[in-house]
Structure 1
Amino acid sequence: MSTSNERRAFLKWAVAGIGAAALPFASMAYANDTAPRRAIFVYFPDGMRPENWHAQGTGTNFILPRMTAPLERVRQHCVFLSGVDMLGAGSTHEGGILKLLTGADGRSNDRAVSLDYYLGQTFKTQTVKPHLNLNIVPVWDSAGVTFDFNGLRVAPEANPLSAFESLFGINSNSNFLDQRRLNVISQSLNEINALRNRLGTLEQAKLDTHVESLRELERKLTANTGGCPAWNFNPTGFKVTRTGFWNNPEYRDKHYMGVVSSLQMDVAVHALACDLTRVVTLTWGHSVNESEIPESGSGMTCHGASHSGGEDFIKIKAWYTEQLARLIEQLASVPEGNGTLLDNTLIFVGSDLAHGGWHNHADMPFIIAGGRNAGISGGRSLRYTATPHNKILVSIAQFMGQNINRFGNQDSNPGALPGLIG
């Protein structure tokens, strides 16, 4: 690769080769008041059944039914929400996907940006990967809940090995590669400094912001990322040997669902801990999910089971929430300041539907986890009445430092979700 091409690509390359330690491990060295905020958006398809999902009881005195029972062991980190609706037209799978992270009407002509993409662009000068968008065993490539500023769907990465390589590189222990990337950054900074003298005061101030971001990357590489040494990624030796859609690559194979789930979560947690990104989206499959999950103990697809609503649907939903429990445990195992990575990370869990058989958007299956350093107390069940879910999106944006009180167009009385902080 030529030197000029290297400069154009250095943001992608700058931390390729940075690994992270086997959990538990040390995150970047932050004090509690300086650690960056992170957000993870989790999507589980095809809704739920309220009697088997929503916490029974309010406040700190509640019982988790069978679909959410796997979260019992991490309930101290979770806020279980009921009575929150996704407003607007389109009480369908497709409408739910359009609404979930945009807070828009649910019609395809809304062309609304999703919160995960919006936040990623906000931090794009401070991290190598503005938004880490990952999918677990999709049936088709275009599945996802993320939309750009033009309202166009942003396809997630379904191959965990590709996701790993895009962040950490092929050779995560090469000092030669680290030095090469440092040289590229150094040359880029020299060119920027030469350009600076030809700019006006306002343009210089804007340029200085970008320069500081580059110097931060330079400091991380110079320190060899200290708190993020290599870790044992992919301990099972998962490989992708099949290519092409119809040849069903292993990352699309239902029999690898658990392995791919673990790998994608592992990449996400380590990317956040090493501050390579601050926004992650994890989608398990997609709406109208016609993939079976053999590990769940059900022989039905998630979509099929959502209509029957019986034991199979309970088993499948419990499998999903078991993955969530593991994600929470991973984040909680990473020390950061006087707390953990989870304390500075807010997880938002949602779906495309509320009641899986009724195809409605009232009383959605929403859960919040983490965020303790922002005053979010876990171990609670909060019950609302016909509250627009836009308020959750505003709360997440405010958690991430955005001074807004509206996101989307479906809340006539905008503001954050009351009671979440406390």
Structure 2
Amino acid sequence: MSHEKQAALMQRRNFLKFIGKAGLSLPLLQASSLGAGMLLSRQALAADTAQRRVIFIYVPDGTPQGASYSFLPSANLALKTCSQPLESVKDECVFFRSRSDASKGIEIIGGGGHGNSQRVLGAFADGVGGTIDLALEETVGATSPVASLRLGVRTRNLDPVSARWYSGVTDYQDNPQTAFEKLFGGAVDTSPIGARRDKKRLEINQAALAKIKTKLGTYELQRLEQHQAAIEKLKTDIDSTSSSSTPMGCSDPTFNPSGLSADLVDSEFTNLFALQTENAILALKCDITRVVTIQLGTHQSDFGVTGLDADYHTSVHSGNLDFYAEYRTYFSERIAHLIERLKAEDDPNGGKMIDSTLVVQVTDMGDGGSHTGSDAAFMFAGGGNAVNRGTIIPADNHHQLLDTAAEYMGVYGVIKPYDANGPVSGILV
């Protein structure tokens, strides 16, 4: 650990002690923007702390006859029919098997079936206020120009997987060009991105400091003002170096330089996914957001994809496993494309984007044909050296995976847990 990071951690501990003496409870502190601005940003501003990001990607309606039949690899990572497209990136992946039955995938809490697809991101877990992307946007996203980004591919803004209990969050952007314009148009100043994000983080610190001043005695107030003076100096330093803080490609980004068709029709599913992938990666790389959710279609699966006959729902219930598998294999191809793009894209902080981005594949069924909630195909990818990649790891249910994603992002214990047993052991190193 570097001297700078040790100093940052010591300052954090001292500040927490100080807050405790001031009569503010840590849970209250953690649950507020004060927690995001003071606790999380202190870690993010430490010199050698990597910027972590997460992409949740929803694939509806499971996989033919469950993960054990068509998705879950063997112990030596020999892939099944529907996971075969991941061959080139399997060393970046973490597959999950049931702890009680190593031949099967994990359990979806709440079961499978149509409707209530919000369960896949934890909307109905005991004691939580909504899906994990919303919990993350209120913590790690509090200092981002866009707290969390929701992108769709042929969702038509129906049946969102992001929700507060049953109340769906319907701000998904299905149109890649509209999403790009909202991210990089006049609403968000992207020049320079680095300075903008740092300034927003500091604004939250300053607002939080002002809020608690009235609760402090003279001695504590003097110490708080010293902390505020340090923040002001940091703001001056950011202002003086802002001209060099924009990551390459972020000062004047271009939409769709390859000229892909962006028509909002099923036959362009592949192109629409590719364009939304670029939007997601650019938003993460340019520090506009740290949390992205990509939703592929809806739980009803009443959409088609490029080059395949009929719609996905028909394939699931056709009685023809090969037809169903063609669709599900196609979705694995898309996810492999996302992982490959993250592997290829430079991270402004060094390395590649895959080294600091965790991809979380979720689904709402084990076998879509029988609407089961067991033997479900969930998967992680990326995350760099913090993740035990190229493995198959036992887990009980998908709520534990959400807690693991929160742990990766540094907020497990700050946000409410989704499972009483907490994160899955053996994933993070």
Instruction: Assess same fold via TM > 0.5.
Output: yes
Of residues 308, 328, 334, the one that matches 2:339 is 328
C-alpha deviation, 1:335, in angstroms: 3.0
Q: In structure 2, what is the equivalent of residue 94 of structure 1?
A: 115
Of residues 366, 374, 382, the one that matches 1:370 is 382
Gaps spanning 5+ residues in structure 2: where?
Answer: 1-44, 99-105
Q: Check whether the contact 1:44–1:350 (CA below 8 A) recurs between aligned residues.
A: yes
Matched, 1:299 2:316: no
User: What RMSD, in angstroms, separates the aligned Cα atoms of the two structures?
Assistant: 3.9
C-alpha deviation, 1:268, in angstroms: 0.3
Paired residues for 1:313-392 under 5 Å: 313-336=324-347, 337=349, 339-374=351-386, 376-384=387-395, 387-392=396-401
Q: What CA distance in whole angstroms lies between the structure 1 residues aligned with 2:130 and 2:230?
A: 25
Aligned letter for 2:405? I
Q: Check whether the contact 1:53–1:365 (CA below 8 A) recurs between aligned residues.
A: no
Distance 1:158 1:380, change over 3 A: same
TM-score (norm 1): 0.73
Secondary structure at the residue paired with 1:255? Answer: helix
C-alpha deviation, 1:305, in angstroms: 1.1
Distance 1:292 1:262, change over 3 A: same
Offset from partner CA, 1:107-140 (integer Å, 9 cap, x none)? xxx98400011101112332110000000012x3
Distance 1:288 1:227, change over 3 A: same
- Identify which range, 127-136 or 151-160, moves more after superposition: 151-160
Of residues 403, 409, 416, the one that matches 1:400 is 409
Q: Check whether the contact 2:141–2:291 (CA below 8 A) recurs between aligned residues.
A: no
Q: What CA distance in whole angstroms lies between the structure 2 residues aligned with 1:311 and 1:357?
A: 13
C-alpha deviation, 1:152, in angstroms: 2.0
Paired residues for 1:232-271 under 5 Å: 232-237=254-259, 250-251=263-264, 253-271=265-283
Gaps spanning 5+ residues in structure 1: where?
Answer: 1-29, 241-249
C-alpha deviation, 1:236, in angstroms: 4.5
Of residues 49, 54, 65, the one that matches 1:34 is 49
Structure with the greater relative contact order (CA < 8 A, sep ≥ 6): 1 or 2? Answer: 1
Aligned letter for 1:39? V
Aligned letter for 1:67? C
Of residues 63, 66, 85, the one that matches 2:81 is 66
Secondary structure at the residue paired with 2:138? Answer: helix
Q: What CA distance in whole angstroms lies between the structure 1 residues aligned with 2:394 and 2:128?
A: 31
C-alpha deviation, 1:302, in angstroms: 1.2
Q: In structure 2, what is the equivalent of residue 134 of structure 1?
A: 151
Secondary structure at the residue paired with 1:143? Answer: coil
Q: In structure 1, what is the equivalent of residue 37 of structure 2?
A: none
Offset from partner CA, 1:121-165 (integer Å, 9 cap, x none)? 112332110000000012x323321113x6521111111111111
Secondary structure at the residue paired with 1:414? Answer: coil
Q: What CA distance in whole angstroms lies between the structure 2 residues aligned with 1:407 and 1:68?
A: 32
Q: What CA distance in whole angstroms lies between the structure 1 residues aligned with 2:241 and 2:320?
A: 50
Q: Check whether the contact 1:160–1:267 (CA below 8 A) recurs between aligned residues.
A: yes
Distance 1:358 1:33, change over 3 A: farther
Aligned letter for 2:244? A
Q: What CA distance in whole angstroms lies between the structure 2 residues aligned with 1:317 and 1:309?
A: 13
Q: Check whether the contact 2:403–2:417 (CA below 8 A) recurs between aligned residues.
A: no
Q: What CA distance in whole angstroms lies between the structure 2 residues aligned with 1:127 and 1:216?
A: 19
Count of residues in correspondence between the two structures: 359
Q: What CA distance in whole angstroms lies between the structure 2 residues aligned with 1:208 and 1:100?
A: 44
Secondary structure at the residue paired with 1:124? Answer: helix
Q: What CA distance in whole angstroms lies between the structure 2 residues aligned with 1:339 and 1:174?
A: 22
Q: Check whether the contact 2:145–2:188 (CA below 8 A) recurs between aligned residues.
A: no
Secondary structure at the residue paired with 1:93? Answer: coil
Percent identical pairs in the alignment equals: 26
Q: Check whether the contact 2:57–2:362 (CA below 8 A) recurs between aligned residues.
A: yes
Q: In structure 1, what is the equivalent of residue 42 of structure 2?
A: none
C-alpha deviation, 1:199, in angstroms: 5.4
Distance 1:383 1:235, change over 3 A: same
Q: What CA distance in whole angstroms lies between the structure 2 residues aligned with 1:365 and 1:197?
A: 46
Q: What CA distance in whole angstroms lies between the structure 2 residues aligned with 1:77 and 1:237?
A: 30
Q: Check whether the contact 1:100–1:145 (CA below 8 A) recurs between aligned residues.
A: yes
Q: What CA distance in whole angstroms lies between the structure 1 residues aligned with 2:248 and 2:46?
A: 14
Distance 1:351 1:214, change over 3 A: farther
Distance 1:414 1:260, change over 3 A: same
Q: In structure 1, what is the equivalent of residue 138 of structure 2?
A: 121
Offset from partner CA, 1:325-361 (integer Å, 9 cap, x none)? 1111111122335532211111110111111111011
Offset from partner CA, 1:62-102 (integer Å, 9 cap, x none)? 211121111000111001112210123x532213x131111
Q: In structure 2, what is the equivalent of residue 166 of structure 1?
A: 182
Task: Judging by fraction of residues, say which structure has more helix.
Answer: 2
Matched, 1:53 2:65: no
